[in-house]
Amino acid sequence: MATKKITFDPDADSSPAANFTILGGSNFHGDFEVVTTSNTAFDFSGSNAVGIATTTGWTGSSQMTKSTAIGSTSFAAATFVVGFTSAAGGKVRISLGGTTTQSLTEGRYVYDFIVGSGATIYTLVNGNILVRPGVSSISTL
């Protein structure tokens, strides 16, 4: 899967969008190369990042759900594993294992990926995920 380059601007009123497709039963990962508005790597390692000084470093969380409608009782369909694959280089990954994707119902989902340092939280990226059913399995080989 290709790496999606996104610009992180904590002063912006909205976050960038990136869409994915997941094949049920397969391992999934979405890679992001995060840059500042001046197109340099966003440093998640705890030093300065676009004017945000932190000594605690950054953490991330990402979930997908079927609906975000007002009044919806929809719960997270899956919680991604978040990894900072190169914190100083602005590279992050969300992933799900094949067992988790196998249990997802076919259809459209929405997701978001939030990051935070201390008590400050930002939406890094959000978008749609299309889940398609797996057709074959290893047992059919």
Domain ranges of the chain: 4-9+16-134
Distance, CA of 139 to CA of 124 (rounded, Å):
39
**Mean pLDDT across 47-56:** 55
pLDDT digits (tens, 9 = 90+) for 72-121: 556 789 999 999 999 889 999 999 999 999 999 999 999 999 998 878 88
Mean pLDDT of 12-18: 89
* Ramachandran region, residue 51 (left: φ > 0; alpha: ψ -120 to 50; beta: rest): left
**CA-CA distances (angstroms) from residue 69 to 2, 72, 75, 110?**
30, 5, 11, 11
Q: In what order do the strands lie in the sheet with 28-35?
A: 4-7, 28-35, 91-96, 81-86
Is the predicted pLDDT of residue 60 greater than 70, yes or no? Answer: yes
pLDDT surpassing 60 at residue 71:
no
**The pLDDT of residue 49 is above 90:** no
Cα distance between residue 107 and residue 129, in whole Å? 8
Average pLDDT of the segment spanning 120-134:
91
4-9+16-134: CATH topology is Immunoglobulin-like (2.60.40)
> What torsion do the CA atoms of 2, 40, 84, 50 make, to the nearest 10 degrees?
-140
Cβ neighbors of 56 (< 8 A, separation 6 or more) are: 46, 117, 118
pTM: predicted TM-score of the whole model, two decimal places: 0.84
Which residue in the block uniquely carries the two structure tokens 């797996």? 134
Q: What is the pLDDT, as a whole number, of residue 10?
A: 81
Percent of the chain past pLDDT 90, that is, above it, reads: 54
Q: What percent of the chain has pLDDT over 70?
A: 81
